[in-house]
């Protein structure tokens, strides 16, 4: 069995806490490695290395920092196949999906390569008599990211790409379920010319998380995970004076208007609902057809396709999705399906009894489809995070808008329609942070920003894009005057103005 490591100050470092987490192969259901779980002192060592590296890295001019990011991008692309296979072996998602995971992270690295422009300040000449005013964006110092299991390549790169390009030193605490890709990315960053201590990876569980949140030298923390932990991270981090962005759970809706192309909608819902076994914060687990007539036609199409979905190991290029990440998570999804039946929802396709021939010990679960789910049901209110699609029928447009707007989560939403006026009104009125119009998974491109509303996000600054630059920097404003000579006769006790 492999024993993984931390990556500190440019080197692989064995854990010293004596505690380890199990890393599974979800396709086989077997333990393939153990990851060290860092103690508070090990986290502190990473902070010390980052503190030592920060002054020199922050002083590197933006063009040279960008060159490191360009080379890092090239190396990740050159090692794409290795990274995708490694990711799939620990997460379980299909290799093609893993390549997409890496690629979406690389798009933010591409954005970060533009840091010489992105980090520019502003300048006003003659803001007052002989007075110029300018601003500059400076790095915060030592910062950290706590990243989830479902996107072990994309989300770390979303965070550290912008943070490091801005001149910070970054500590990544990845999920202990699949930490190998974050570790490999740190190695590639060193190969790209990144100095030791600028990007480090500390494996761990709650002890490491609390050490990050409590450490006085860590200035900012970015988190992605469940809502309960996001709220905890935000509360504890801000209580300790840190800048925190904490992205939580989701229950994304797809509104299907009567004029929508139902064949296209069905394909989009199948992909967005069941891709990656539903383990995406931007998956679409709720379909909202407007009117019973549309609902009946849609459900008929969905049922036929869901029953025919092929499930297989990550290496099966013909499969729709692979196993879930752990047996514990698989059981959690099964319990949600049972609860939905108990609450009175109509289970049209039941994936609980699926077994993969030759992979009987793997963490597989078949696709499930519910109809006539109602907003009062617990399974509607909570995030399931598995291959389960729920149909909630709406009688009209206003009721359809109200469903995602009144839900506790507000990450993403989509509307399918041919009516531009209805789409425009929907985008304006719906109380959700990211909106798709005939786009089922509205994850913004890298130079826009990612972030939900309500219990899907804590903090007021989003990830990546220009919001990311804002989050990972602090602004300094300078007001300057260069007197031509002579001394004023008397001191001026009145507050200066530009009158």
**Which residues form the catalytic set?**
281
Per-residue b or e along 167-197, where b marks 16 or more CB atoms closer than 10 Å to that residue's CB: bbbbbbbbbbbbbbbbbbbbbbbbebebbeb
Q: Where are the beta strands (DSSP E) in 158-281?
A: 169-173, 199-201, 218-224, 243-247, 253-256
Which candidate, 250, 340, 319, places its Cα nearest to that of 98?
Answer: 319
Distance of CA 147 to the CA centre of its chain: 8
Distance CA 472, CA 172 (A): 14
Beta bridge partners of 143: 170, 220
Helix (H, G, I), strand (E, B) or coil at 457: strand
For residue 201, the cross-strand partners are 7, 172
Q: DSSP for 181-196, please give it.
A: HHHHHHHHHHHTTPPT
Angle value at C-alpha 205, between 96 and 13, nearest 5 degrees:
80
193 within 8 A of 67, measured Cβ to Cβ: yes
User: Which residues, other chains included, contact 358 with Cβ-Cβ below 8 Å and sequence gap of 6+?
Assistant: none
CA angle 128, 129, 133 (to 5 degrees): 40
Taking CA atoms, 216 is separated from 227, 435, 472, in Å, by 25, 37, 17
Q: To 5 degrees, how large is the angle CA 448–CA 86–CA 88?
A: 75
Non-local (6+) Cβ contacts of 425 within 8 A are none
Q: Under a CB-based contact definition with an 8 Å cutoff, are residues 466 and 118 in contact? A: yes
Cα 8 from Cα 48, distance rounded (Å): 10
Residue 332: exposed, middle, or buried by beta-carbon count in 10 A (0-12, 13-18, 19+)? Answer: middle
C-alpha distance across the termini of the chain, in Å? 74
CB 354 within 8 A of CB 366: yes
Q: Tokens at residue 430, please? A: 């719906």
Question: CA–CA separation, 451 vs 233, rounded Å?
Answer: 16
């Amino acid at each position: 069995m492999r024993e993984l490591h931390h990556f500190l100050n440019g080197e692989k470092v064995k854990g010293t806490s004596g505690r380890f987490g199990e890393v599974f192969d979800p396709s086989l259901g077997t333990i393939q490695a153990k990851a060290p779980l860092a103690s508070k002192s090990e986290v502190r060592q990473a902070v010390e290395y980052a503190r030592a590296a920060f002054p020199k890295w922050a002083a590197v001019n933006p063009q040279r920092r960008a060159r490191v990011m360009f080379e890092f991008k090239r190396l990740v692309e050159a090692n794409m196949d290795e990274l995708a296979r490694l990711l799939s072996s620990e997460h379980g998602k299909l290799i093609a999906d893993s390549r997409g995971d890496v690629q979406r992270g690389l798009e933010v690295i591409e954005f970060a390569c533009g840091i010489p422009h992105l980090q520019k300040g502003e300048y006003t000449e003659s803001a007052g008599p002989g007075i110029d005013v300018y601003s500059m964006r400076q790095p915060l110092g030592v910062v950290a990211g706590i990243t989830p299991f479902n996107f072990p390549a994309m989300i770390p790169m979303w965070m550290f790409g912008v943070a490091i390009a801005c001149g910070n030193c970054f500590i990544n605490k990845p999920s202990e379920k699949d930490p190998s890709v974050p570790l490999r990315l740190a190695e590639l960053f060193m190969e790209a010319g990144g100095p030791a201590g600028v990007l480090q990876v500390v494996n761990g569980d709650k002890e490491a998380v609390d050490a990050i949140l409590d450490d006085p030298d860590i200035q900012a923390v970015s988190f992605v995970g469940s809502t309960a932990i996001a709220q905890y991270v935000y509360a504890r981090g801000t209580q300790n004076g840190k800048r925190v962005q904490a992205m939580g759970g989701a229950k994304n809706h797809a509104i299907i208007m009567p004029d929508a192309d139902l064949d296209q909608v069905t394909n989009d819902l199948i992909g967005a609902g069941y891709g990656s076994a539903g383990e995406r914060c931007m998956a679409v687990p709720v379909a909202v057809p407007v009117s019973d007539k549309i609902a009946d036609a849609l459900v008929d199409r969905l049922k036929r396709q869901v029953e025919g979905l092929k499930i297989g190991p990550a290496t099966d290029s013909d499969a729709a999705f692979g196993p879930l990440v752990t047996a514990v998570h698989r059981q959690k999804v099964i319990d949600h399906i049972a609860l939905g039946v108990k609450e009175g929802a109509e289970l049209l396709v039941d994936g609980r009894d699926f077994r993969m021939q030759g992979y009987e010990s793997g963490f597989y679960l078949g696709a499930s489809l519910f109809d006539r789910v109602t907003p009062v049901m617990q399974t509607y209110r909570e995030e399931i995070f598995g291959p389960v699609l729920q149909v909630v029928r709406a009688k009209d447009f206003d009721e359809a808008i109200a469903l995602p707007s009144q839900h506790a989560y507000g990450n993403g939403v989509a509307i399918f329609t041919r009516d531009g006026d209805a789409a425009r009104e929907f985008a304006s009125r719906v109380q959700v942070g990211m909106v798709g119009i005939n786009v089922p998974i509205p994850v913004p491109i890298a130079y826009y920003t990612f972030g939900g509303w309500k219990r899907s996000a804590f903090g007021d600054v989003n990830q990546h894009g220009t919001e990311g630059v804002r989050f990972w920097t602090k602004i300094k404003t300078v007001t300057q005057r260069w007197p031509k000579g002579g001394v004023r006769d008397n001191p001026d006790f009145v507050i200066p103005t530009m009158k």
